[in-house]
Amino acid sequence: MNEKEKRPNIERPLTKDMRTDGQALDIKEYVRAGGYGGLRKALREMTPGDVQKAVSDSNLRGRGGAGFPTGKKWSFVPMGKDAPHPGFLISNSDEMEPGTFKDRILMEGNPHQLIEGMIISSYAIQADYAYIFLRMEYGESAKRLSKAIAEAYANNYLGKNILGSGYSLEMRLHLSAGRYMCGEETGLLNSLEGRRATPRAKPPYPQLCGLWGKPTVVNNAETLSNVPHIVKNGAQWFRGLSCTDDGGTKIYGASGKVRRPGAWELPLGTTVREILEEHAGGMREGLRFRGLLPGGASTGFLIEEHLDIRMDFDSVQKAGSRMGTGTMIVMDDRTCPVGMVRNLIKFFARESCGWCTPCRDGLPWVEDILHAIETGKGRHGDLELLEEHCALLAPGNTYCALAPGAVEPLQSALRYFREDFERHITQKSCPWR
Amino acid sequence: MLTETERREIEQELKSYGRKRAAGVEALKIVQRHRGWVSDEHLEEVAGILGVTPDELDGTATFYSLVFRREVGRHVILVCDSISCWITGYEDILCRLQNVLGIGLGGTTPDGRFTLLPVCCLGVCEQAPAVLIDGKVHGNLSPEKIESLLEKYE
Amino acid sequence: MDGKKTVTIYVEGKPHQVEEGKNLLDACLSLGYDIPYFCWHPAMHSVGACRQCAVKQFRDEKDTRGRIVMSCMTPAADGTRISINDPEAVKFRASVIEWLMTNHPHDCPVCDEGGECHLQDMTVMTGHSYRRFRSRKRTHRNQYLGPFVNHEMNRCIACYRCVRFYNDYAGGRDFGVFGAHNYVYFGRYKDGVLENEFSGNLVEVCPTGVFTDKTLKRHYTRKWDLQTAPSICVHCGLGCNTIPGERYGTLRRIRNRYNGEINGYFICDRGRYGYEFINNENRFRFPVRLERHGDGEKTGTFGSGEVIPHIKSILQRARGVIGIGSPRASLEANFALRRLVGKERFYQGTSAGEARIMADIVNILGNGPARTPSLRETESCDAVFVLGEDLTNTAPRMALALRQSVMQQPARLAAGMKIPRWDDKGFREAVQNNKGPLYIAHPHGTKLDDAAAAVFRGAPEDIARLGFAVANLLDDNAPGPVKDLPGEASSLAEEIARALENAEKPLVISGASLKTPALIHAAANIAFALVKKGKPACLSYAAPECNSMGLSLMGGAPMEDALKTVQAGEADTVIILENDILAGQMAPDQAEALLSARNVILIDHLPGRTSSMAGIILPASTFAEGSGTFINSEGRAQRFYKVFDPSGDIQESWRWLRDIMVDMAYPGASGWLTLDDIVSSLSAEIPGLRAVANAAPPEGFRMAGMKIPRQPHRYSGRTSMNAALNVHEPKPAEDHDSPLTFSMEGYAGQPPSPLIPRFWAPAWNSAQAVNKFQPEVNGPLRGGDPGVRLFEPKENALMDYFGKEIPQAFTPEKERLFAVPVYHIFGSEPLSSLSPAIAGRIPAPYIALRPEDAEKMRVPEGHVIELPPFGSLSVRIDGSLPEGLAGIPYGLPGLKDMELPAWINSPAAAKKGGQ
Ligand SMILES: Cc1cc2nc3c(=O)[nH]c(=O)nc-3n(C[C@H](O)[C@H](O)[C@H](O)COP(=O)(O)O)c2cc1C
Ligand code: SF4
Ligand code: FES
C-alpha cells in the first residue's frame, strides 16, 4: 500500500472513553464501555497462540521508544508443557524519559485498559505473574492503578482461574525509587529483583532469561494498552487506524513553549506539522520554531525542513532521528541550543548507572565541555571533541542504549545549530543571556 | 527502632514479593514514608528483617535517587530540572525557591520545614515548569506563585 | 578440551585455531596478542563493563567497515574476523583510558601500586599520554578496612572487579558498590574490618591502587626492589603457591603465585598476611645454650665452631637419642633427623591421634580407588559432602574452591539457555541463587554454610554415623545400616546419597581437625561406594599442617611413644625439630615430662614454650630463608626456595643435622652438600617418596646456560644498599641448592613453572602478567603446573570398607560438656599468629556454649569464666551447637590447650564472677 495515500479511520480507542473531569474510569464505567470484552474473548475463544497471532498481524510496534514489533517479541517466549515457569509480564511504566508523559495520561485516565491489556498479554505468553513497574513520582497513577487492580481481583479478572477459564494470574504494582535506568528493560528486571538497576547483557534475552532467570516480557504501558482493542476488534481494524503499515494510534505529545502543550491520540503517522501546529497550537506568541526532539530527550533534533514528515518509526528514522516516545520537545528561537543540549546531557550523565566507562566517565566530560561553551569558556577544538564523543558513544560501544541515546540530540545539534555553538566560543558568552 | 506499624507494613510487603531481597527498596520506602528519610539505624534494622547485610541493602538504596539517606525537612520540594521545565524557565523557579527558603539545592531550612532537591523530569511536561512537594505535583509555575505555594506547607 | 570443537578465527587476517564459543579476549590473550582489559579477569570472566577490550569485528572478507565489539563478550565462531590494530578500535581503546583518567589521580610516583599497576600498563599499551580533560577530578573519602587492606578510592576506575571478587566469587557480604553514575563507590557500608577470609586478593584483583597491601605499606619497598623466589605457603595443608618478597633482610609481603592446579589466582588472608613471623625480632639467629641452675636460668652463646662439637659430645655420651620430627618442617629436615637418630628412634612430632589419622589418610589416598583432587578439580566437582571440617578456617582455599563447585550444576541450567560460563553477568542472572548440592556436617555453624544445600549439626560421632549411613545407602555392602539414626538424619542421608549418586563428579571431604578416625573412615566408605557404582569419585582430606602429609609418609611413631621411650630409660637425649611440642596437641604434662629428658636440643626459628625447656637451640631457617619440599594434602610434592640469605648462623634444619652427622662421621653424611643430594637420598630410601626428586629441576638446571635471577632486572640500589656498613659491594650470596641466583643477572625469559620467581613480561608489570606464562588463559603454566602428585587412584584397587566400629550415637551428659575444637583462620595456626596484622584479628580465648547451657549456668555472652586447663575464657553464645557440646578455640596464643575434642566439666562449677 502506498503510505502517502493511506487514509486512516479516525478513531481514538485508547482515549475515547476517558472522562473529561480528569478522574479515572472506574471498573463499572470501563465495563460499560466494553472493557474486559477483549479479555473475555481471548480467554473464551482464543488460544494463547491466537492472541499472539492477532498481535503480530496487527503490526503493533512497541511504544517504549525502540518500536520493536510486539508480536515478534512475544514469539521468543518458550511455550508449551516444558516451558519454564513462573513466567512474567511487565508493564514498563517507568516513563522517565524527559519530555515524556503519555503513559501517565493513559494510566491515570484509564487504568483498567492497561490492566486488561496486561492480562491478555500475560495469557498470550502464559505468564504467571504480571508487574506494573511504575515510577515513584506518579503518585496519582499509583493510587488509581492500585484501586483498579483491586477491582479487577474482585471481579475475577485477576487471581485464580480467571473467569472460569483455568488461567490464573497474579498482578502487582511495583513503585520504583527514581533512576532513569530502571526504564531500560533489563535494568528494570534488576530493579525488580531488589538490585541496583544496572542493565543486563543481551543475549540472553529476557524472554528466555528474565526476572529471576525466568521467561519475561517487558512492554511499554502504551503498547499494552492497545492489546484489548486489537483482540476485540481484530488486527485488520487496528492496522486501519494508522497512516502507515504499522498499526494503531499513537499518543503524541508536545511540550516546550508551544501554545497548548499536551498529548493527543492520533493516527500513527500523523505529520509533525499537524501535531505541532494543529494540536499544540503552534509556538507561543512572539516565538519562532527552531527545532524539536520528536520523541523524548534521547532523540535527535528535527528542524523546519522536517515538519512534513510523518511521525512514525520509519519516517523519522529516515530523517535522521527517531520517533522514540512520540512526545516532542519543542525549541523556540529564544532558547539557547547549547544550553538545551547541556541540560539534556546533564540529565543523562546524572542518570548513568555507572556500569560502563564511556557513559559513566564520557558523559560528564561532555557535560563539562558544554558547560564551558555555554559559560563562555569554550575553546577551539571543543566542538571536535564533542563530535568525537558522539562517535565514541555509539551503539555497541557502550553497554546499553542510554549513552548512545544521550548523544543523539547533541550530535544533531552540532549539525543543525553549529553556528550557535561557534558563536558561544568566539563571543566567549551565551548570546541568549 | 522501627515502630510496630512499620514492621507490620514491611512484613506485609515481604509476603507480596516472596523473595526477601526484592522487597528491600520497598521496605526502605516504608520507613521513609513514616520518617521522611532512612537513617543508618533504620537501614540496619530493615536489613536484619530482610536477612541481608547493610552493605547489600545500602548498595541498592544508594543507587536510587529517591531513597533519602540523609535527614530531610518536613516537606521535600523536588524541583524538576529536566528539559521541558528548563525551556519553560525552571531556573527562575529554583532561584526564587532558593531565595525564599534561604537554602541551596540539597539544603534543608534551619527550621526543618523544607528540603530542596532536584529531580528528573516529573512526566508532567505539559504543565512545565513543575515541582513535586510531598508527592503532589504543582505545575505551570512562575516565580510569582512560589510564596503562596509554600504557604500551604506548615 | 574434552570434545570441544575448534574453529578458525582470523586476527589481522591471520588464521588461528581456537575453541569454539570461547570469548575473543580469552582466545587472543591465549594466542599471545595483547589486548588491554580491566573488568575481565581470567577466573571471574567477562562482564563487559569497562569497554577497554574493544576490537573491530568484520562480517566476512569483504566487509571493510566492520564494527566495534567487546572482545570479552564476543564468542569465537568459525570464520570470525577481527582486528586489534584497526584504527577505530585503537582510537576507542585509547579513549576508554582517557575517560578513566579524567578522575584518576596523577600520583603514580607515590602510589603503592606503582611499578606493578595494571592501569599503568594498559595506559602505556593504549598510548594515552596527553590530558585533554580540563575540569576538576571528583574525590572520595577513604575507609578503614582493617589491618590487611588499604583503601584509596580516588584511584578507582570502576571496573567492578572488587565487588565481583569479594561478593560473587568469595561469598563476602560486607562489601559492595554504592551510589551511581560517576560517583560509584566501592567499599563497606561503614568503616570496618573486611570480614571475608580472602579480602587480601583485592590487592591483586584491583587493577590499580585502590586496594593495596597494608602490611607492605608499613615497610614499603618499591615493587621492583623486591627479591623474590617461588615459595609455598606454610599456614595450612593445602600448599598454595606464593611469592614472598624481601628487601634488606626482611620479608615485605606475600603475593599469590599462580598454580593452576592449586590456588590459581587467589590465596587466603592467612597465607598472604601470615609472613611477618619471619621478621620477628626474637628470632634465634645464633646457637644458644640454656642452662638451668638452682638459682634460675642462664643463657649462653657458643663461640664460632663450638656448637657442633658440643652437640657431638652430648650425643656421644647420651644414653639413647631420639628425634621428634615436625609436620611443618620440610621433608629434608625430617629426613635428616630420621637419619641422625635412626628410623626406629624417629618420632613424628604429632599426637597419637593425629598420627593415626594421617596414617589412615595416607593409606586411603595412596592405596584406595578414589582420587584425591587438586583444588582445580575440586572446583569442577558437582556434588560435595563435607564431614567435620570447618574448611574456611582449616583449609581456606578449599572453601573458596567449593564456592565455585556449587556453580557446576547451575551451569548446566545456564548452558541450557545457551549462556556460556564466561558470560559471568548473564550466568549469574540466569542461575540466581541456585546452587549445586553441597552438604556440610559439622558440630557448629561454619562460614561456608550459606553455600550449602543443607547442613547437619552433631557431635563428631554423629557426623560419622551420618557418613556411614550415606555409604551404606550407596552400597549395601558398606557397613550399616546405622542403627537408631534419627529421622531427620536418615532423610538427610538419603538426600546426600542421592545427590552424590546423581552427580557427574562427586566429592567427599573430611580431615583431621576433629581428631575422629571414624570421620576419615566414613568419608572413605562413601567415596569407595561411589567408585563401586562407577562414579569418578573424589576424596579430599584436609591436613593440619603444610607438611603433615610428608611427615606421615616418612613414618615414625607418635610423640606419646617418644615419652615412653624416655620414661623407660631408653633415651635421655631428645632432638626436636621445628616443633613447639608444649604448645602442641600433646597433653601438657606429657610434653613436660618429655622435655625433662637430660638433654633437649631444639632446632627452630622462634622462641616458644618448648624453647624455654631446651638445653641447646639451633637457629633454623624459615621457608623464606631456606629451600625444601612439602607435600600438601592432595599428595603433591612441591619445592619452595630460599628468598633471601638470612643473617647470623641461621641455616636449614637439615644442614644443622648434617653438620652434626658429618662431625660424628656418619657414613654418607658428608655427601649431603646440596638439597639435591638429600632429596635423592630420601627418595631412594622411602618408597612413597620416590617421585619427590621430580618436584622441581635440579640445581644444575640452566636456561641458556644461565641461572634464574631472584631480582628483577630493574632492581635498584644493589651497589649502595649496604654502603652504610661497607662501601664495597658484597659478593652476592651463592645458592647451591637451586637454579636460582641472588642477583639480577641471569636468564631473562620464562623458566619452568616450579622456578618462576615472579610473573613479569614485557609491558605486563602487574599480577595480570600470568597470562603470558600460560599457553591458555586460566590453564596450566607452560610445561605444566608445579609439583608432582604422589597418589594416583589405583585401577581396580579394592580397598575394604572401614567400620567394623560404626560409633555409638553421642549421648549428652548432665554434668559434663563435650568440647570440640573450633578453628580460626586467624589464631589456630601458630606461625601466622605471630604476624602483627593477623594478631589483630585473633579472637580472645572463649568457650562457645549453647544458649540453653549458658542460661542454665547463668552466664551471659562476654562473661569471663575460669576453666582449667584452659584458663580464662569469655562466654560466646552459639545457637548452632547441638545438645551436650561446647566449643573451645583451637591453638589460640595464650590459651592453654588440651587435646580436643574431650569431655570437660561443665563450666558452671568453675564459674567466676566478672565482667
Ligand atoms: C535508558 C533507557 C531508558 C528507558 N526507559 C523507558 C521507559 O521509561 N519506559 C519504557 O517503556 N521504555 C523505556 N525504555 C525502553 C525499554 O528498554 C524497552 O525497550 C521497552 O520497555 C520495551 O517496550 P515496547 O517493546 O513495548 O516498546 C528505555 C530504554 C533505555 C535504554
Ligand atoms: S551506557 Fe553504560 S553506564 Fe550508561 S547506563 Fe548504560 S550500562 Fe550504564
Ligand atoms: S574487559 Fe571487556 S569490557 Fe572490560
Per-domain residue ranges of chain A: 3-240, 249-332, 337-427
Name the residue in chain B with its Cα closest to that of A140: B136
Architecture of the domain made up of A3-240: 3-Layer(aba) Sandwich (3.40)
Query: What is the C-alpha to C-alpha distance for residues A120 and A115, in angstroms, rounded to an integer?
Result: 9
Find the mean pLDDT for residues A273-279. 97
Query: Measuring CA to CA, which residue among B68, B149, B90, B78 is closest to residue B120?
Result: B78
What's the length of chain B?
Answer: 154
Query: Measuring CA to CA, which residue among C390, C330, C320 is closest to residue C655?
Result: C330
Q: Which three cell numbers stand for residue B9?
A: 507494613
Q: What is the CATH number of domain C6-101?
A: 3.10.20.740
Q: β-strands C438-441, C383-387: how paired?
A: parallel
Q: Which three cell numbers stand for residue B24?
A: 528491600
Find the mean pLDDT for residues C799-806. 84
Is the separation of the CB atoms in C226 and C245 below 8 Å?
yes
Is the separation of the CB atoms in C103 and A361 below 8 Å?
yes
Give A392's contacts in chain C (Cβ within 8 Å). Answer: 92, 95
Test B126 with A353 for CB contact under 8 angstroms.
no
Q: Which residues pair with C251 in a beta bridge?
A: C246
Query: What is the C-alpha to C-alpha distance for residues B150 and B144, in angstroms, rounded to an integer?
Result: 11
Choosing from A97, A363, A393, A400 the residue with most ligand 2 atoms within 8 A of its CB, the one to mutate for a pocket test is A400
Q: Which three cell numbers stand for residue B45?
A: 534494622
SS3 state at C522: helix
Q: Which residues pair with C903 in a beta bridge?
A: C818
Class of the CATH domain delimited by C816-914: mainly beta
Q: Which DSSP string do the residues of C445-501 spell out, in sequence order?
A: --TTGGG-SEEE---HHHHHHHHHHHHHHH-TTSS-PPTT--HHHHHHHHHHHHHHH
Query: What is the C-alpha to C-alpha distance for residues C650 and C866, in angstroms, rounded to an integer?
Result: 41
Judge whether residue A269 has pLDDT over 60. Answer: yes
What local confidence, expressed as pLDDT, does residue C908 receive? 64
C-alpha count within 13 angstroms, C-beta hemisphere, residue B112: 5
What local confidence, expressed as pLDDT, does residue A2 receive? 45
Name the residue in chain C with its Cα closest to that of A356: C49
Q: Looking at the CA of C37, which ligand is closest? A: 3
Name the residue in chain C with its Cα closest to that of A367: C135
Beta-strand ranges (E) seen in A21-158 are 88-93, 129-134
Q: Which residues pair with C870 in a beta bridge?
A: none
What type of residue sits at position A291?
A: G
What is the DSSP-derived secondary structure letter of residue A157? S
Q: Looking at the CA of C422, which ligand is closest? A: 3
Query: What is the C-alpha to C-alpha distance for residues A134 and A172, in angstroms, rounded to an integer?
Result: 11
What local confidence, expressed as pLDDT, does residue A42 receive? 98
User: In terms of DSSP H, where are the helices of C804-860?
Assistant: 830-833, 836-839, 851-857
Query: What is the C-alpha to C-alpha distance for residues C200 and C272, in angstroms, rounded to an integer?
Result: 7
Q: Which three cell numbers stand for residue C203?
A: 590487592
- Binning pLDDT at 50, 70 and 90, where does residue C899 land? confident
* pTM higher than the cut 0.80: yes
C-alpha count within 13 angstroms, C-beta hemisphere, residue C706: 14
Q: Which three cell numbers stand for residue C35?
A: 589486548
Query: Measuring CA to CA, which residue among A306, A338, A333, A337 is closest to residue A319?
Result: A306
- Residue A203: is the preceding peptide bond cis (ω within 30°)? yes
Test C178 with B62 for CB contact under 8 angstroms.
yes
User: In terms of DSSP H, where are the helices of A259-378?
Assistant: 272-273, 313-318, 337-351, 357, 363-374
Find the mean pLDDT for residues C254-283. 98
Q: Radius of gyration over alpha carbons of chain C, in Å?
A: 28
What local confidence, expressed as pLDDT, does residue A432 receive? 92
Nearest to B58 among C173, C180, C189 (CB): C189
Test B58 with C178 for CB contact under 8 angstroms.
yes
Query: Kindly report the CA angle at A90 between B135 and A245, in degrees rounded to 5?
Result: 110
CA of C198: how far to CAs of B154, C149, C194, C278, in Å? 53, 11, 9, 22
What type of residue sits at position C381?
A: C
Judge whether residue A388 has pLDDT over 90. Answer: yes
Is the separation of the CB atoms in C148 and C257 below 8 Å?
no
Judge whether residue A174 has pLDDT over 90. Answer: yes
A contact residues 339-358, partner B, Cβ 8 Å cutoff:
339-340, 343-344, 346-347, 350-351, 353
SS3 state at A98: coil
CA of C583: how far to CAs of C11, C894, C896, in Å? 61, 9, 8
Residue-wise pLDDT for C94-114, tens only, equals 999 999 999 999 999 999 999
Where do we find the cell 481494524?
Answer: A237
Q: How far is B14 from chain A (nearest CA, A)?
A: 12
Distance A254 CA to ligand 2 centre (A): 28
- Binning pLDDT at 50, 70 and 90, where does residue C870 land? confident
What type of residue sits at position A353?
A: C
Q: Which residues pair with C638 in a beta bridge?
A: C630
Residue nearest to atom 6 of ligand 1 (CA): A183
All residues at 6 or more sequence positions from C853 whose CB lies less than 8 Å from its CB, including other chains? C817, C886, C906
Test B81 with A343 for CB contact under 8 angstroms.
yes
Mutation target to probe the A interface, by most A beta carbons within 10 A, among C153, C429, C434 is: C429
Test A136 with B66 for CB contact under 8 angstroms.
yes
Distance A4 CA to ligand 1 centre (A): 29
Query: Measuring CA to CA, which residue among A56, A192, C191 is closest to residue B64?
Result: A192
All residues at 6 or more sequence positions from C754 whose CB lies less than 8 Å from its CB, including other chains? C230, C638, C639, C695, C696, C697, C786, C787
Query: What is the C-alpha to C-alpha distance for residues A45 and A65, in angstroms, rounded to an integer?
Result: 32
Query: What is the C-alpha to C-alpha distance for residues C528 and C371, in angstroms, rounded to an integer?
Result: 10
Is the separation of the CB atoms in A375 and A427 below 8 Å?
no
What local confidence, expressed as pLDDT, does residue C294 receive? 66
Q: β-strands A289-293, B75-80: how paired?
A: unpaired
Name the residue in chain B with its Cα closest to that of A177: B66
CB-defined contacts B:C, below 8 A: 30
Name the more confident of C726 and C189. Answer: C189
Beta-strand ranges (E) seen in C147-301 are 149-151, 176-178, 185-187, 211-213, 227-228, 231-232, 241-247, 250-256, 288-293, 296-301
Is the separation of the CB atoms in C250 and C219 below 8 Å?
yes
What local confidence, expressed as pLDDT, does residue C634 receive? 98
What type of residue sits at position A222?
A: E
Torsion of the alpha carbons at C430, C432, C437 and C443, rounded to the nearest 10:
170
Test B83 with A95 for CB contact under 8 angstroms.
no
- Ligand 1 in reach of A92 Cβ (< 6 A): yes
Q: What is the CATH number of domain C355-543?
A: 3.40.228.10
- Binning pLDDT at 50, 70 and 90, where does residue A230 land? very high
Atom of ligand 2 nearest to the CA of A351: 5
What local confidence, expressed as pLDDT, does residue C293 receive? 67
Torsion of the alpha carbons at C584, C587, C593 and C599, rounded to the nearest 10:
-10
Where do we find the cell 477483549?
Answer: A38
- Ligand 3 in reach of C742 Cβ (< 6 A): no
φ/ψ (deg, to 5) at A11: -135, 150
Nearest to A358 among C47, C99, C179 (CB): C99
Torsion of the alpha carbons at C602, C604, C609 and C614, rounded to the nearest 10:
20
Query: Measuring CA to CA, which residue among C9, C94, C11 is closest to residue C51?
Result: C94
Sequence ranges of chain C with CATH classification 2.40.40.20: 816-914
Tally Cβ neighbours within 10 Å of residue C585: 22
Judge whether residue C794 has pLDDT over 90. Answer: no
- Ligand 2 in reach of A398 Cβ (< 6 A): yes
Query: What is the C-alpha to C-alpha distance for residues C203 and C629, in angstroms, rounded to an integer?
Result: 28
Atom of ligand 3 nearest to the CA of C70: 2
Sequence ranges of chain C with CATH classification 3.30.70.20: 137-218
User: In terms of DSSP H, where are the helices of C141-220?
Assistant: 161-163, 202-205, 214-218
What local confidence, expressed as pLDDT, does residue C585 receive? 64
Give A178's contacts in chain B (Cβ within 8 Å). Answer: 64-67, 119-120
Judge whether residue C152 has pLDDT over 60. Answer: yes
Is the separation of the CB atoms in A191 and A200 below 8 Å?
no
Q: What is the CATH number of domain C137-218?
A: 3.30.70.20
Share of chain C above pLDDT 70, in %: 98
Name the residue in chain B with its Cα closest to that of A334: B87
Sequence ranges of chain C with CATH classification 3.40.228.10: 355-543
Nearest to B84 among A98, A192, A193 (CB): A98
What local confidence, expressed as pLDDT, does residue C193 receive? 98
- Ligand 3 in reach of C51 Cβ (< 6 A): yes
Q: How far is A78 from chain C (nearest CA, A)?
A: 11
* Helix, strand, coil distribution of chain B in percent, nearest 5: 50, 10, 40
Sequence ranges of chain C with CATH classification 3.10.20.740: 6-101
Q: Which three cell numbers stand for residue C473?
A: 545407602
Choosing from A88, A97, A327, A345 the residue with most ligand 1 atoms within 8 A of its CB, the one to mutate for a pocket test is A97
Class of the CATH domain delimited by A337-427: mainly alpha
Is the separation of the CB atoms in C218 and C700 below 8 Å?
no
User: In terms of DSSP H, where are the helices of A320-417?
Assistant: 337-351, 357, 363-374, 382-392, 402-416
Burial class (CB within 10 angstroms; exposed 0-12, middle 13-18, buried 19+) of C721: middle
Residue-wise pLDDT for C338-374, tens only, equals 999 999 999 999 999 999 999 999 999 999 999 999 9
What local confidence, expressed as pLDDT, does residue B105 receive? 96
- Binning pLDDT at 50, 70 and 90, where does residue A3 land? very low
What local confidence, expressed as pLDDT, does residue A415 receive? 97
Q: Which three cell numbers stand for residue A74?
A: 512475544
Query: What is the C-alpha to C-alpha distance for residues C96 and C92, in angstroms, rounded to an integer?
Result: 6
Query: What is the C-alpha to C-alpha distance for residues B98 and B119, in angstroms, rounded to an integer?
Result: 15
Residue-wise pLDDT for C372-401, tens only, equals 999 999 999 999 999 999 999 999 999 999
SS3 state at C7: strand
Give C174's contacts in chain B (Cβ within 8 Å). Answer: 53, 55
- Binning pLDDT at 50, 70 and 90, where does residue A1 land? very low
- What is the average pLDDT value for chain C, to the nearest integer? 94
Query: What is the C-alpha to C-alpha distance for residues A244 and A312, in angstroms, rounded to an integer?
Result: 8
- Ligand 3 in reach of C753 Cβ (< 6 A): no
Architecture of the domain made up of A249-332: Roll (3.10)
Q: Which residues pair with C643 in a beta bridge?
A: none
Share of chain C above pLDDT 90, in %: 88
Judge whether residue C322 has pLDDT over 70. Answer: yes
